[in-house]
Structure formats: structure tokens, C-alpha cells
Structure 1
Amino acid sequence: MDLVSSFRRAFFQRWLNEVLLEREPLRNFNTPMQEQRVREFKRLDEQVLGENRLNLVRYLRTRVQEQLRTKEAMDALPFLRRQLTLQRGLSPLRTTFQKSLPAIRAIKPVFLMSPLSVSQLLDGRQSSFDLVIFDEASQLPTEDAIGAIGRGKQLVVVGDPKQLPPTNFFSVMNGTISVPLAEDGTPLFEDSQSVLEEFMGSGAPMARLKWHYRSAHESLINFSNVSFYDAELYTFPSVETDSHATGLSFEYVMDGVYEGKGLNMIEARRVVDAVVRHAKSDSELSLGVGTFNLRQQIAIQDELELRRRQDPSLEPFFARNKKEPFFVKNLENIQGDERDIIFLSVTYAKNSDGVMRYNFGPLNGENGWRRLNVLITRARKSMRVFASITGNDINPIQATSQGPQLLRDFLLYAEHGRITGATPHPAADTESPFEREVYLELTRRGLKLQPQVGVAGYRIDLGVIDDMLPGRYLCGIECDGAAYHSSEAARDRDRLRQQVLEARGWTIHRLWSTDWFKDRSGQIERLLALVEQTRKTAQSEKEAEAEAKIRWEAMEKESQETVSQTDSQISSSVTDDESLPEISSYTFAKTNLLYRNQEFHLATVTQINRMIDKVVEIEAPLHIKDLASRVVAFWGYNVVGPSMMRRIRAVVEEKASAGEVVLHGDFLLKNDSSNIIIRSRAGTNIPAERIAPEEYKAAILLVLQIKNGIDRKSLVNHVRSLFGFSRTGTNLEAAITSVVDNLLSEKIIGEGSTGIKLIK
């Protein structure tokens, strides 16, 4: 070490010592205490959000009763009740709203209506709302919005000015108006000004939503982020190191020919081939097809209809009653749709003479770039671009408008672009001297690291690469540097960002700079131990996955579906207390082996989300450990490993934050949990402590409706009987007693000399 380096090191060490002496929080900082604080903050933050949701529900229920007691609502109720009982001779909707709006609004304070319906059905003189919200406002003409704007005291306009403006597409399609045709035979749809653009130009206060959640792989959004959003979208890195399993891929249709009038039949057949393969092998993932014009859309639909007639076994995949059914749409009507997988048919190509014509239909127009942006951002998991040309086939000089120029760039990106992340870069790519030191020390100890994992927005400081897990990172290491401090909100910093990363499959280990400066060697050993433990956990899960698959495949030769418990086939069971009603038996979600050929650590967030929805729909309320057991069974496992549990919990927490489910402690409930069904656990292995308090509450209230005024011991025994338990164990008694105490404190029930009673 030279003299200058020695001086700098001594100088900064002295400076650091002085800072530590002056600042007690830094001087007393230690990792276990800090991480405990973070865990406690996460718990309390989620608890507050959950309680606020419940408080809102309680408030709205109370408010309904209060509003219905007002003179206006009482006067309107008779007319509304009569309309609800009539089988024919109903009044027009506008009349019903005019005569009973106070009662309707008391019962349903939130109206979900199109802007035109607002103008047609609600009398402007009597219908005033506290708040009006427009969604997808970039597609809403100003003249259609005026009626709704005039009926609100406050206004929120939500939309993306980089996406499709209002067009007359639907008016043309339903024959309301006619428009001239372009050279390729497609209608020349007209664009108009949106209400979003009007308000953006008016100087109204604006806020930009930058966090991007949809894309599981950054390659799906990176082109749009750079080309349309000035690289300002806040994206999260994928745990995969390449885009083979997820992300953007390019499929060249070598013999594709543009036949004119918006048609490339060879490419259409290639797309249909891929759709059929997907329906047979990956049917659990939702699929959509996007095209650049209406003619190609119709060609793909017609070809697909022919294949379906030839092979009826495909029909279940194309069922319309799915949550996300298959679609084929074009760039004029695909906005607002998203699917796990998107196939994109570019259509445009050289003609049979090998000549490239530069008529790109709607892309040539003034807003062609907006249409392109919409079309290429519909995929959550992966997008396959089917093209009969490459980007180099489009001459940028001849492509005079912005749309075709950006199409050229996109094709080049789809064909050649790769998200940085598969190959380690030198330590110069680190973001700070602190990260550089960590990088150098850990690489000296044998770790293979990728600095700054990610493309835009949030980057993971160091990704750990291990040959045991090809194609993905073993884990991530985050330092409390610039990336950590980039958010001023503790919720973003310590909960939401890590929650999103864990939901995408990451295991994150954190390194605190204060501990690093105090005890570098100790922190190195701690990190190495954490990485090694992660490696061992991943290895044991991998081995368990392989063993479980072998066992499951042997068990499932005769059938692709199993039921978790044979007793779940029983429709109902009778309690051992004849005075209590029959209670339905617990029904287990059927866990067919959808992903038998996929290791769980390669599962996407979308796949896990979908399986959680299946289980919650049948079994909620349920304990998160029971949920995890059902979810991993879809992959053929009967044991839930620690990292599996962390991953599933992270997805559940993200769903709870988004309001898709309710998470109370370790129990999941549906959003609408006002009517809890009591289910007998007779014949199951579900312990008493894994029954949700909400279900115990429903059972207690049911018993008291029948036997009002009983002592605690009798109440506990009756509840035990309802749930099908043969004896009252310690855990069961504690669970029931805890809920009874809560009901007493909430004054829903009361306890006196005559026992426990409902309070009316």
C-alpha cells in the first residue's frame, strides 16, 4: 500500500471514529437489533393496513344504516322496493334513479358506470358525488366526460398519455359510421383529443405513478421504458439471468410473405401452430394474440377455428368462462388487456417479389408510436414476436414516420437484445466505494457476483450466481447505500421493495455499512454463512422436488387429479350434539399436477398467484401453512421447504397489499368475508390452531343463537362439537376462549349470572 493510500485510510478511519463517538444511534447500531426493528415495522405496517380495511368496512356498514334513516332515503325506499319485486312493467332506469337515488346511494355509495351511462341515467340536478374517477382516461373523448365531471365535487383523471388516444374504432366496427380505407384495405380510424390531455394542458396538479409491476421480466418493459417513458419507470429485476423462460423472444418466419391488404397467411399459420402447442402443453398460463391490423386478426381467428374443429380436445383451453380467456385482438382494441403470455404477429414483410413496401397501416399515422407502445406491453410473463422480417429489413431513411422507425428498433431489440445479468461484470460496475469493497472481498472468498442486477429503476446491489441453479440467481445481497436510501418512505424502503423482490423469487440478504466498518471480517463470515445456508436450502429443496415428483408420478398413473383428503368427498357431517344443525364437511381444493415437470423455484409469480386463487376460492379462511401445502402440491410436492414458504408468503403479502385477499396474521380470507361458513374438521388432519378466528366467531354466534345463556364450558363443548373434534384439547380451548374474550370486549356478547348471551 503506497503512502497516499495509507494516509487516506488512516484519515477516513479517524473521521469515522469521530462520527461514531458523536452519534449514538450509529455507535450502538447492530445488525440483529436493526433487523428485528424492520421485522416489527413490517408486522405493524401490515396490521395497520388490515385494520384500516376492516374499519372502512365497519364505517360503510354503519353509514348505510344511518343514510337509510334519512327522510330522503325513507321516502325513496317504497318505490325502489316495488321495482325490485316487479317481474314486468318495470320503470326505465333513468326514472328509477330519479325517484330512488337517495336510497340507492345509501345502499351502494360507489357507482361503477361508463361516462355515457352517467349522462343518460343520472339527473344532473340531483346526482352530486363527492368524487368522480376516470380510469383509462387517455381513451376517453372530452365531450363524453363532461356529464360525469359536472356531477362531482372532486375529480381524479387516471391514464397514460403514451398510450392509445380516443378513436372511432368501435363506431366503425358496429357500422355507426364509415371511414375511407388505407392501401392495405384496413379502415383509417380517426383519433381525437382525450380528457386526459385536456387536463394535462390545463395546469391541474399531476402525479406520476412510476412503479411497474406487470412484467415478470424486465425485457418485457425495457424497450417501452427507454423509448416512450424516458427510462423513468421503476422496474424490478428478474431472478432469472436470461429471457429464455420468461421475457421477450423473437421467432423469425423465414418464408412469410406480405400478400397486401394487411395479410400474411404464412405467419398467421405459424402463430396458430404456437397457440395450439400452448393449449396442449401450457394451458395453465393465459394467452393472448396481438396483431398490427384487423385483417391479420381475422386470418388468425379463422385458421384457429379450423384447427379447433379438427381437434375437439383443444376446446377446454378456449372456454369463455375462464377468468382470463384466450383472445385475438389488434392494436386498436387491445388496450386494457393483459395475459401471462402474448404472441405478437408483426404481419408486415416483403412481398412475393422480395420488395419491402413501407405501408405499415396504423403505424404510419401520427399516433402510430402510441399504438406500438400499447401492443408490446400486454404480457406479464413472456412475449413471442413472430415476424417475417428483421429490424434490418426496414430502412430507417425510407421509414419516414415515428411508428415504423420505432418498429424497426423494437424488432432489433427483440432479435438481439439481452438484459444484462447473465455474465459477471467487473467491480467498476458497483455503485459506490462501499459496494466495491464488498464485491472485492466476497469475490476473493470465492463467490461469483453480478453487480447492479437490473435494467431500470431498482437494482439489486450484488447478485450471487451459482452453477447449481443455472439460469437464475441464487440470492441477492443489498447494502444500505444509494439504492436503499433512494426512497424516503420506510414502507417502500423496508417492506414493499423487498416484498416485490421476494414475490419474484429472490432471497435477499442485507449488509449494513455501520457493521461493515466496525467488523469487516465478521460481516464477511456472516454473509458467506448466509449464502451457504441459502445454497444448502436450495439444494435440499431441489432434491426433495425430484423425489416428490417420482412419488407423485407413481401415484398418479391412473389419474391426473387427486384430492387432498378422501373425507372431503363427503358433502356433510352431523355433529355429536343433536340440538345443533348439520355442518358441512371441510372441502379441500383439488390439486391436479399442473406443473409436474417444473421445479418450484422456477415457478413464476403468475403461476403461484393463480394457484393461491384456486385454493382460497375453495378453502378460505385458511392458515397460510395449509395454503402453502396445497400450492406446492400443484408442482408435485408433499413437503413445504423454508424458501418455498418464504416465496408463497411474499406473494400472499403482495396480494394482500393489492387488496386481492385479506391477511389477518397467518390466516387468509376472501375479500368478501361477511358470510363465514363453518366447516367440520372431522376426518381431517387440520389442528385447532389452524382454524381462523373468524370461523370460531361464526360458530360461537351460531351456538348462542340456539342456546343463548350458557356457561363457558358448555359453549366450548358445543363449538368443539360443531367442528367435529372428539375432545377439547388445550389448543382448541385456548383458541375458542380467545375469540369469546374478544367478542365480550367488543360487546357483541355479554357474560353474567345467567351465562353468556348475545347482546341484542
Structure 2
Amino acid sequence: MIPQAKDFYQYFKGCYRLDYREFFVENVLSRKYPFKWFVNGEEELLTEILPIIPYNNKKVADLEKELALYQIEKTLFYGVFFVLGESRNPLIKDKRVCAPLFLFPATIETLDDEKYLSIDRDAFQLNRAVLELFDAADSQNSKDQFVSEISELLEESNPDFIRLQSIVNKHFFNVHTKELLMTPRVWSESSIKNHLKTTSYSEGNFKIVPAAGTVLVKKSESSLKVLDDLSGMAEGNKFNVGFQNLLSGKNERAPVNSSIYKSRLNTDQYQALQNAYRFENSVVVGPPGTGKSYTITNIVSDAVINEQSVLVVSKTKQAVEVLRSMLEDDFKLKKYLIHTTGRNHRVSLKAKIRRYMSGIVAPLYISLEYKKIQKWFTRLTELQIKFENLVSQELKLSDLSFNSELNLFEKWHRFYLNATVAGSTRIWDVFHEIEELTGKLEIAVSSYTKGKIQYNIRHFADLFRTDLSIFYDALDTNSFSQYKRTLAKVKHANILKVFPIWLANLSELNSVLPLQQELFDLVIIDEATQCDIASALPAIYRAKRVVIVGDPNQLRHYSFVSKASQREMRNKYNLPDDKIYDYRNRSILDLYLSKVSSQDQVSFLREHFRSTPSIIEFSNQQFYGGQLQVLKSTPRHTHNSQIRLVRTAGTRNDQGINRVEANEIVSRLKELMRDKEELQLVPSIGVISPFSAQARHINQLIRDNFEIEQIKKFDLFCGTPYNFQGSERDVVFLSFCVSDDSHPSAFIHLNKPEVMNVAITRARSYQYVVTSVDVNVLNTRTLLFQYLRFIDGFVHYNLENKSLDRFQKEVTAALVEKGIDGVRSGYPLAGSVLDLLISQNGKNVFIDLIGYPGSFKSAFSIERYNTLTRTGLICFPLHYSFWQKDQMGAIELIESLLHN
């Protein structure tokens, strides 16, 4: 049963509000909070000694004005139990940390001309800034449990806040709590300032003290915008058609035309592109390194040349930035896309509108381009059919030639084939023409894409000049309210004809786009595993068709909303106990994977481009059932392992830091940079630890040991798997941090499939795995044990087949006689077994032997040739009848491929 749209959207709005991402109050003492006020003496509100307390804030008059003028943007909170210390952020001058653990919405009341303060105990929020400062004793689960136990404490009537000390001590190791025994006596503002002035904090340690006071907080625009959109959607009480059909299981297929991008995509990628047109709702599952971003950019470009508007969104700016770079660099579309996550996007957008309205546009050269592309595609199809027919004739000739019991008709057929097919170079000639034409198409399609988009923009800019002018006026105002009012006059569908590509963060949609159902022809949500359902819904609401892109085996969003809170919220809106309402644990990718009604709507990208077999193979087998086809599997990549295990004698201390591993990594970083610093093109470097304390410690060592120029030159970045999802580096150092005596829950964290999968798949070329644990003490069922064992015993799976048939022997012998060595037979690569592979002069030539009876008789398909070409291979189909007639000519062709 489909829920009422109003109840559905209100439910997710409620969950999102509970998860309140906006409250990151790290230093109440800073100038950001001019209306701050501290309680003196005893705390009486939270401890329920009094329902209201006198509010003797000297700035209360100005504060009330501020609240009246900015009631939407700002909220008054009553903060309790302050965390004191020094900030780890190197970019801020004021290092003081003075952050309330709890924030309660507060109200100023006037009684007999006196000001009083009351709080809403039931609507408390945890200060996210504090939780990020705290280092969990063992894993992120500790923070989960802490939130649960604290919530129970605050929900009690007459809570015993002395218990807060034991709860904090139980879950965090870097927080001193002795001062909590003073509760309800509180520290004054002067006491806090003097303490911070005279006390030095090191190694990320903090103190929590009994203190209380008010702070005026500017609501995070991101959360506010999502909540505002969800409110508007609930008020409308209507799903957009695509989402309605998703929830109901309705699945209509639309007819799909062939795309000019077919020649540049593999089968799975092309299916994803066609699904973006065929279905209102489709999913692309993209494991690490499978060209997910490349697929998205091709879908975007194809949609735009077909005069459709596209919105690409993600939870993180990093994911959007990757797509922006590809669209600008690979497709040369910088002038034609609107990147709302960038700085000063309004200024950029105004400049583009001004340019179009002034007639400052490039000349067009696309009049004959499309016809040429169509003609070439037609010719390419003809050639592919011709190639298949020639191969079919060669295989038939083989069947007849190696059969001694033929009837009269079969003998005549063999005679005919020998006279018309055997011995010619026609198969190679046709294949070579296919390759040349494919190359021409690649260039022509890129040129046409740019020209067609440019033409569309010129055409629609002229057609909708009035809307452009109003839109420019909206962008030109400094008042957000005026901006929204002017924007309401614009027919935004017309603006999207002129500016069809929009890139945005999910949290920013409300400020850059109107809340209009089905505004965009296509909405693509990237890194959807990290996107919670609530923040994704406003983007989906604006879509006619939706493509969800992600990987269920990677890290999800993190939520603090409890199961009990979800249950309460579900009951409030009369919603069933269905998995789609599990806001806490399910991403928007999970929702779509569970709701699409046909497997045809799901595309799985198999070809892995990023890493070498030794780096990706563990994840391939463990998390993807061996379905990934690793393209970097040539002899250069498989001769040696690109992963090195570095064992140390380190231990993980009480602060969650393994100093020996950290020092080992810094030492190797110095060595690597010293060896590569003179190169024109240096490798990018990443350092990953599954534990935040270790990552922070290594970051501190990097700051202490390397100059900023080095860090920038090598694009050096250190973080946890959460920080690295969606990123990659040429060389990665991985610090597991744990040692033999580490607490069991640390190993539990490492045993999370999504944590391990992201951590070990970020390297393109080489990976150092630094560990201090004896593999023999590990539980053999754990991922860490299996991974370390894998590294120790890695051998390129499916080793080459050494047995040769007659055709292979003859060709190999002839090549060796010509001084061509490095010939391998039955070589595994990208999910295929290659008949013969030659590696010489930095080139790899695959010889597809066709027509001799045996396991290598058949030819590869054109699509498989294209896959192998993407690995850098040169493909050469060699049919047996040609070899029999002209061995010297065949060898000369192979030599030319190796030397040209």
C-alpha cells in the first residue's frame, strides 16, 4: 500500500530533524556568539529544580530583536556540560574549545517586566562538534551506544547526572570527567576562560565540566534547506510520477534510440545509459574503479545533446567535484554547466547570462557533423556484420577442412570457401577498418557534443531571453528574500533549456532551484550509498526520471536517530513497519534496490579500470563474487605483486594510536618523495587508517615533517575510509593500527565489510599495508585475517595455460625465430583467456587465433575486442586459412603492430 505523500514526507522530515546536522558549536567563547550568557552558582533548569530561571543577560534586549528578525535562520539554545580543550583544526587562530555537550531549545519569557528562561527538555540535541572530538574507546559503535544511554538518562524524571561521568568514561578515553562530581554547581564564564588560558591540552585530550548557558546559533543552511523542501513537499501531498511508480511497483518501459556514445562505452555502461531513458527509475551499481563517474558523464552528455535537462547531485562536495572535472576536462563543457557547489557560483552564472545576452558566443560548426556521425555509425554496423560473417565463414571452412567424412554438397562448399575466403587478409582488413572508424567516431562525437550543446544554448537563449533577463535580476540582488521573490517570476523550465547541466549538493537545492515537481528531465544521485533518504527526496521530487548510482558494499551515511525514535515517528504518521522507513540504516540506494520491480533496471559495472589484480582481487572475490573483470592484468601488472605487507612491532595505546606504524609510514613517505621528487609527473599519495585517532596522529606527523609544497605536489591526503570514499591515489599506505593485545571491539570495527572494502581499494598502482598484529592470533573468520593471508599468498589467479595446440605452436615458433620473445599462451586478462599475448617494446599485442579446432577456435566478439583495447592491448585476429597460405605475411603484420 502506498502511503499518503504528506505522511511519507513528514516522517522523513521528522527523522532528519532528529538527526539535526546543523549543531556544530565548538567554541561558545568566540566572536561568532555575541549574545552568549553563562549561569552562575547552580544549574536549576535541567536538574528540574525550577521550571524557569531569571535571565539576567545584559544583551537580552538586542537578543530578542535578533530572534524576532531572524526567527527562521537562528535559534536560542541552552547548553549544558561544557567540553574544554584545544582545537585540532590547524586553520583557526582561536584554538579554544568551549562546547556544550547538550543543546536544549530555549525560550525567553517576560513576567512582570522581568526576563526569564525556560527550556524544552524533550527536544534536546547532541552537539556534533563534541562527538567528533571524542575518541571512542574501540569503535564507532561506542558513540552509538553513548547516544542511546545518554538519551535514556535525559528521558528520566529527576535524572542523576552523576551517572554522566560513568557513561562518558565507559565509551571515550580522551575525556577527563572528574569535575562532573560538582553537579549541580557550575563553572562560571570567568572560570572557564581562566582555565583555558592557564591550561595546556595535548594529544587530543579534553575535560568535561558542569557549566550552563545560552548561545544563539545560526541554523545550518544545509539542514534548513532540506527541512524547508520536505515541508513544502508534505504540504503539496503529492508524489512525482516516477517516485509514485517506484513505490507502487509500476514499471513502464519507454522506447530507446541508439546513442552516439555507444562506441565509447562498454556493454554495462551502455546499458546504464539506455536505462536512463528506458525507465523512470534505474540503478547503477558501480564497485570501486569500474568507471562509474565516466558512465555518469556520458549519460549527462547524451541527455543534453537530446535537449534534456540534467541535475547531478551527491551528499559530498567531493563527489560532485569529480564529475565537474570530468565534464569540463573530458567533454570540454565548462562554459555550459552550472556548478552550484563551487565558490561564487552566482557570479559565474551571471557572467554566462551576460555573455549570452550580449551575443558573445562562439560560432557554430555542427551542421554536417551529425550526418557524418550517423553515416559512420551505419558504416560501423555494416563492418561489424561483415566481420562476423567472415569469421563465420572461416569457422565453417575449419569444420569442413578437418572433417574427413564429407558428402558431395559439403565438399563443394569447402571448395567454394577455399576459393573465395581462405588465405585472404579480409578478416584483418575489416577489423582494422573497424578500429580506425571507431577512433574517428570518438573524436567526432566529442566535437559534436560540444557543438550541439552550444547550438542548443544559443537557440534557447534567444527564444527565452525574457526569462534569462529576470533570472539575471534575481542573481544580481544581495537579499535572499528578494532573490526568492524574483526567482518565482521565472519559468525555470525555460532557464534549464539554456543551462541544462546543474551540479549541486543535496543540501543546497532549496537555495538554487525552485521546489517544482519534475523540473528536470533527469536527476542523477551519485555516491548514493552515503545519501540518507530524507536529504535525497527533494532531488527526486524535482525529477521526471532518476538514476541512482552507488555501491551497497561501501560505507553508508551515519545517523544518530535511534530505532525507538523511528518507531515513534512511524506511529505518529500511521506508517507500516517497512524497511523503506529505516532512515537510520538504509540509504537512498538501498531504497531503490529494494523497490525497483525488474532486474533490468539495475546495471552492474564489471570492468575494473583502477587497480592491478593484487590490489583489487581480495575485494573482487570477497564482496563481488569474482564478477569484476580487472583490466590491468597484463604481464607488466602481474609479474610482481603491487601490494606489500610491512610488519611492525607496534602496539595500539589507550588513545587509539599506534606510533610505530605511524612512524614507519612517515619514514616510507620521506623515502618515496625523495625518490620521485625530480620526476615531472609524481605519484599521488594517500594514507588510510580505519581509526580516526590514528589518522589524526599521522596527519600531525605529516604537518611536522613535510612542507606544504611537498604535500601539494604529491597530493598527499590522510584520513579514514569515510574520508576516502570516492577518492583514489596512485600509492596508498594503509595502517590497520591494531596489535595482538587490542580490545576485541577494535577488531569488530575492522571486520565491517564496507570499512574494509573502501580501505583496501583506494590505490591505483601500489599499496603498502602496515600492520602490527600476528596473523596467527586472529580469528580465521575475520576479514583482517583473510586479507593478510591473501597478501602473503597472492598469485595471479588463473595462471596462463601452458599447453599449446598446433596453431599456437606454429605461430609461437615463427615469432621466436623472428626474435620476438615474451609470448604467452592462454593468458587470463579482463575476464578472458587470450590465445597468444606478446609483450615487447612496451606494447602488448593479443593474437586471436581463429579457425583451428580446439578451445581457441572461435573469435572474440567486437565488444570483447573493445574491452581489451581499453586495457591498452593491440588486437590482431589471425585466421588459420590465412596463416596456412601466407605465414610470412602474417608475421610481418604482427611485427608492424609491435614497432609502429
Q: TM-score, normalised by structure 1?
A: 0.54
Q: Deviations over 1:152-179 (max 9, x none)?
A: 1111111112212222499xxxxxxxxx
Structure 2 equivalent of residue 707 of structure 1: none
Cα gap change, 1:50 to 1:18, in 2 (>3 Å): farther
Q: 2:869 aligns with which of 486, 499, 504?
A: 499
- Asked whether the equivalents of residues 237 and 454 of structure 1 are also in contact (C-alpha less than 8 Å), the reply is no
Q: Aligned to 1:158, what secondary structure does the other structure show? A: strand
Structure 1 equivalent of residue 691 of structure 2: 293
Structure 2 equivalent of residue 269 of structure 1: 663
- Asked whether the equivalents of residues 629 and 830 of structure 2 are also in contact (C-alpha less than 8 Å), the reply is yes
CA drift at 1:413: 1.4
Provide the C-alpha distance between the structure 1 equivalents of 2:418 and 2:508, rounded to a whole number of angstroms: 59
Q: How does 1:471-486 map to 2 (within 5 A)?
A: 476-480=846-850
Structure 2 equivalent of residue 220 of structure 1: 615
Structure 1 equivalent of residue 793 of structure 2: 416
Provide the C-alpha distance between the structure 2 equivalents of 1:315 and 1:484, rounded to a whole number of angstroms: 58
Structure 2 equivalent of residue 711 of structure 1: none
Q: How does 1:659-738 map to 2 (within 5 A)?
A: none
CA drift at 1:106: 3.2
- Asked whether the equivalents of residues 487 and 493 of structure 1 are also in contact (C-alpha less than 8 Å), the reply is yes
The answer to whether residue 769 in structure 2 is matched with residue 371 in structure 1 is no
The 10-residue stretch of structure 1 (126-135 or 61-70) with the greater mean CA deviation from structure 2: 61-70
The answer to whether residue 405 in structure 2 is matched with residue 38 in structure 1 is no
Structure 1 equivalent of residue 151 of structure 2: none
CA drift at 1:500: 2.0
Structure 2 equivalent of residue 98 of structure 1: 488
Unaligned runs of 5+ in 2: 1-398, 562-582
Q: Aligned to 2:550, what secondary structure does the other structure show? A: coil
Provide the C-alpha distance between the structure 2 equivalents of 1:484 and 1:287, rounded to a whole number of angstroms: 45
Structure 1 equivalent of residue 738 of structure 2: 348
CA drift at 1:480: 4.0
Q: How does 1:287-436 map to 2 (within 5 A)?
A: 287-308=685-706, 314-319=707-712, 325-351=715-741, 357=744, 359-364=746-751, 368-396=752-780, 405-419=782-796, 426-427=802-803
Q: How does 1:112-123 map to 2 (within 5 A)?
A: 112-119=503-510, 121-123=512-514
Provide the C-alpha distance between the structure 2 equivalents of 1:296 and 1:454, rounded to a whole number of angstroms: 39
CA drift at 1:349: 1.4
Q: Aligned to 2:656, what secondary structure does the other structure show? A: coil
- Asked whether the equivalents of residues 689 and 736 of structure 2 are also in contact (C-alpha less than 8 Å), the reply is yes
CA drift at 1:114: 2.1
- Asked whether the equivalents of residues 428 and 877 of structure 2 are also in contact (C-alpha less than 8 Å), the reply is no
Structure 1 equivalent of residue 672 of structure 2: 278
Cα gap change, 1:13 to 1:514, in 2 (>3 Å): farther
Q: 1:144 aligns with which of 532, 535, 556?
A: 535
Structure 2 equivalent of residue 50 of structure 1: 443
Q: Which has the higher strand share?
A: 2
Structure 1 letter corresponding to 2:605: L
Structure 1 letter corresponding to 2:757: N
Provide the C-alpha distance between the structure 1 equivalents of 2:414 and 2:664, rounded to a whole number of angstroms: 70
- Asked whether the equivalents of residues 814 and 891 of structure 2 are also in contact (C-alpha less than 8 Å), the reply is no
Q: Aligned to 1:333, what secondary structure does the other structure show? A: helix
Q: Deviations over 1:705-729 (max 9, x none)?
A: xxxxxxxxxxxxxxxxxxxxxxxxx
Cα gap change, 1:31 to 1:376, in 2 (>3 Å): farther
Q: Aligned to 1:214, what secondary structure does the other structure show? A: coil
Provide the C-alpha distance between the structure 2 equivalents of 1:315 and 1:358, rounded to a whole number of angstroms: 36
Structure 2 equivalent of residue 210 of structure 1: 606
Q: 1:247 aligns with which of 642, 646, 651?
A: 642
Cα gap change, 1:487 to 1:27, in 2 (>3 Å): same
Cα gap change, 1:58 to 1:344, in 2 (>3 Å): same
Q: 2:471 aligns with which of 64, 74, 80?
A: 80
The answer to whether residue 545 in structure 2 is matched with residue 154 in structure 1 is yes
Cα gap change, 1:474 to 1:501, in 2 (>3 Å): closer
Cα gap change, 1:515 to 1:487, in 2 (>3 Å): closer
Q: Deviations over 1:632-691 (max 9, x none)?
A: xxxxxxxxxx4xxxxxxxxxxxxxxxxxxxxxxxxxxxxxxxxxxxxxxxxxxxxxxxxx
Provide the C-alpha distance between the structure 1 equivalents of 2:509 and 2:729, rounded to a whole number of angstroms: 30
Identity of aligned residues (%): 23
CA drift at 1:298: 0.7
CA drift at 1:75: 3.6
CA drift at 1:331: 1.8
CA drift at 1:412: 1.2
CA drift at 1:85: 5.1
CA drift at 1:194: 1.3
Q: Deviations over 1:10-36 (max 9, x none)?
A: 963566974962875995154633222
CA drift at 1:493: 3.6
- Asked whether the equivalents of residues 560 and 584 of structure 2 are also in contact (C-alpha less than 8 Å), the reply is no
Structure 1 letter corresponding to 2:622: S
Cα gap change, 1:10 to 1:28, in 2 (>3 Å): closer
Cα gap change, 1:201 to 1:127, in 2 (>3 Å): closer
- Asked whether the equivalents of residues 252 and 386 of structure 1 are also in contact (C-alpha less than 8 Å), the reply is yes
CA drift at 1:249: 1.8
Unaligned runs of 5+ in 1: 1-7, 171-189, 309-313, 400-404, 538-641, 643-760
Q: Aligned to 1:125, what secondary structure does the other structure show? A: coil
Q: How many residues align?
A: 468
Structure 1 equivalent of residue 286 of structure 2: none
- Asked whether the equivalents of residues 239 and 473 of structure 1 are also in contact (C-alpha less than 8 Å), the reply is no
Q: Aligned to 1:452, what secondary structure does the other structure show? A: strand
Structure 1 letter corresponding to 2:603: A
Provide the C-alpha distance between the structure 2 equivalents of 1:442 and 1:233, rounded to a whole number of angstroms: 33
Q: 1:450 aligns with which of 815, 821, 824?
A: 824
CA drift at 1:420: 5.3
Q: Aligned to 1:77, what secondary structure does the other structure show? A: helix
CA drift at 1:281: 1.9
Structure 2 letter corresponding to 1:251: V
Structure 1 equivalent of residue 295 of structure 2: none
Provide the C-alpha distance between the structure 2 equivalents of 1:212 and 1:326, rounded to a whole number of angstroms: 24
Cα gap change, 1:486 to 1:85, in 2 (>3 Å): farther
- Asked whether the equivalents of residues 642 and 767 of structure 2 are also in contact (C-alpha less than 8 Å), the reply is yes
Q: TM-score, normalised by structure 2?
A: 0.46
Q: Aligned to 1:332, what secondary structure does the other structure show? A: helix
Q: Aligned to 1:479, what secondary structure does the other structure show? A: strand
CA drift at 1:424: 6.8
Provide the C-alpha distance between the structure 1 equivalents of 2:897 and 2:443, rounded to a whole number of angstroms: 31
Cα gap change, 1:51 to 1:60, in 2 (>3 Å): same
Cα gap change, 1:12 to 1:356, in 2 (>3 Å): farther
Q: Aligned to 1:346, what secondary structure does the other structure show? A: strand
Cα gap change, 1:508 to 1:76, in 2 (>3 Å): closer
Structure 1 letter corresponding to 2:614: S
Cα gap change, 1:507 to 1:250, in 2 (>3 Å): farther
CA drift at 1:418: 2.6
Q: Aligned to 1:165, what secondary structure does the other structure show? A: coil
Structure 1 letter corresponding to 2:608: H
The 10-residue stretch of structure 1 (370-379 or 233-242) with the greater mean CA deviation from structure 2: 233-242
Provide the C-alpha distance between the structure 1 equivalents of 2:415 and 2:592, rounded to a whole number of angstroms: 51
Provide the C-alpha distance between the structure 1 equivalents of 2:555 and 2:412, rounded to a whole number of angstroms: 54
The 10-residue stretch of structure 1 (281-290 or 91-100) with the greater mean CA deviation from structure 2: 91-100
CA drift at 1:103: 5.4
- Asked whether the equivalents of residues 391 and 409 of structure 1 are also in contact (C-alpha less than 8 Å), the reply is no
Structure 1 letter corresponding to 2:836: L
- Asked whether the equivalents of residues 420 and 455 of structure 1 are also in contact (C-alpha less than 8 Å), the reply is no
Structure 2 equivalent of residue 624 of structure 1: none
The 10-residue stretch of structure 1 (472-481 or 148-157) with the greater mean CA deviation from structure 2: 472-481
